[in-house]
């Protein structure tokens, strides 16, 4: 990562990397559209009010580079958000290797012999057990962890409440199964692969206590802070973002929190308000500049740029 642009923050200019940004590629969009008979790309784009992604992933990557530059963000994850779309994010990371990390969704139940060669340039394999109907403890996930261990890569495990906004808006069914979403289920596999960094997004998305229990037991577990964290409304009593951060810092510490926004589409682009809210909350609870640098970028680089 040669270029370290910064953005203003309560601590002064801060080098920011976003650990959670969806790359809604042309392939991703076409895949969703094909799931609804009669729907066209143009009609879907119009209905959503989104700019349709260019056909070439490099072009969409260029748009994100421009957007990150505009916001003073020096690097970000790019998440391929349907299985089989890793080619889009690896094309993007190859075009801009200093700016992006390739994350790619995989359905381990559909694998026949380990991860395909198309994963050779992927940094993080993303598992969504509730979406694809398997337990993270199932043997089908082993090849993913074996791949991560062999190539020093990370595994992202979505836990908690899963709602894919774009599916809802397009009227696509989301036959997910929340039984497979408890972070406690990650315990045994995290212990079995202690060198594989595991990322649980959105502080466990409703399973905050369980995500903290997991992080406390497994030093390879990291929590991403992304999204507006609507799961806080499931919590008994009134939980604020400040309290979430204070608690997460107490248990997981500053080296295992990864700032993320959950940005995804244009014209909205990079979700600046998420940064502002999280930076404010962390500053107000007295987070040091060193810890802020870790949470907002250095931790991601440490676990992925090895």
Residues found near Zn ion in the complex (CB under 5 A): 262
DSSP 54: P
Taking the least distance from each CB to Zn ion, the nearer of 162 and 252 is 162
Closest CB to Zn ion: residue number: 262
- R_g (Cα) of the chain, nearest Å: 18
Angstrom distance (rounded) from CA 227 to CA 262: 5
Angstrom distance (rounded) from CA 8 to CA 244: 23
Residue 105: CB minimum distance to Zn ion, A? 10
Three-class DSSP category at 106: coil
Angstrom distance (rounded) from CA 103 to CA 93: 10
Residue 224: CB minimum distance to Zn ion, A? 9
Taking the least distance from each CB to Zn ion, the nearer of 185 and 262 is 262
Taking the least distance from each CB to Zn ion, the nearer of 210 and 262 is 262
Angstrom distance (rounded) from CA 38 to CA 251: 50
Residue 262: CB minimum distance to Zn ion, A? 4
Residue 194: CB minimum distance to Zn ion, A? 26
Taking the least distance from each CB to Zn ion, the nearer of 80 and 189 is 80
Residue 37: CB minimum distance to Zn ion, A? 27
Strand pairing class (73-80; 198-200) = unpaired
Taking the least distance from each CB to Zn ion, the nearer of 262 and 291 is 262
Taking the least distance from each CB to Zn ion, the nearer of 196 and 205 is 205
Which tokens in the block code for residue 77?
């994850």
Angstrom distance (rounded) from CA 80 to CA 214: 26
Residue 22: CB minimum distance to Zn ion, A? 6
Which tokens in the block code for residue 301?
């680089």
Q: Across 1-149, where does the E strand assignment appear?
A: 16-18, 22-23, 73-80, 100-105, 124-127
């Amino acid at each position: 990562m040669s270029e370290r642009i910064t953005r203003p923050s309560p601590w002064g200019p801060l080098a920011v990397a976003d650990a959670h940004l969806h790359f809604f590629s042309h392939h991703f969009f076409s895949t969703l559209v094909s799931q609804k008979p009669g729907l066209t790309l143009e009609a879907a784009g119009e209905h959503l009010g989104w700019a349709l992604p260019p056909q070439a992933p490099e072009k969409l990557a260029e748009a994100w580079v421009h957007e990150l530059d505009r916001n003073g963000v020096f690097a970000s994850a790019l998440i391929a958000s349907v299985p089989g779309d890793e080619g889009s994010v690896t094309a993007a990371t190859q075009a801009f290797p200093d700016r992006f990390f390739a994350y790619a969704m995989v359905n381990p139940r559909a694998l026949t012999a380990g991860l395909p060669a198309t994963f050779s340039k992927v940094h993080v394999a993303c598992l969504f057990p509730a979406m694809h109907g398997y337990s993270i403890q199932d043997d089908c996930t082993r090849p993913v962890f074996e791949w991560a261990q062999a190539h020093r890569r990370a595994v992202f495990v979505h836990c908690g409440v899963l709602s894919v906004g774009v599916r809802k808006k397009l009227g696509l069914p989301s036959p997910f199964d929340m039984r497979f979403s408890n972070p406690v289920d990650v315990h045994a596999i995290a212990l079995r692969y202690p060198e594989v960094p595991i990322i649980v997004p959105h502080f466990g998305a409703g399973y905050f206590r369980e995500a903290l229990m997991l992080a406390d037991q497994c030093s390879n577990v990291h929590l991403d802070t992304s999204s507006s964290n609507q799961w806080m409304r499931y919590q008994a009593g009134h939980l604020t973002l400040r309290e979430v951060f204070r608690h997460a810092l107490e248990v997981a510490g500053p080296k295992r929190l990864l700032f993320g926004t959950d940005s995804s589409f244009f014209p909205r682009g990079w979700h600046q308000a998420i940064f502002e809210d999280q930076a404010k909350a962390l500053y107000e609870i007295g987070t040091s500049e060193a810890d802020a640098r870790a949470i907002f970028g250095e931790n991601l680089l440490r676990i992925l740029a090895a």
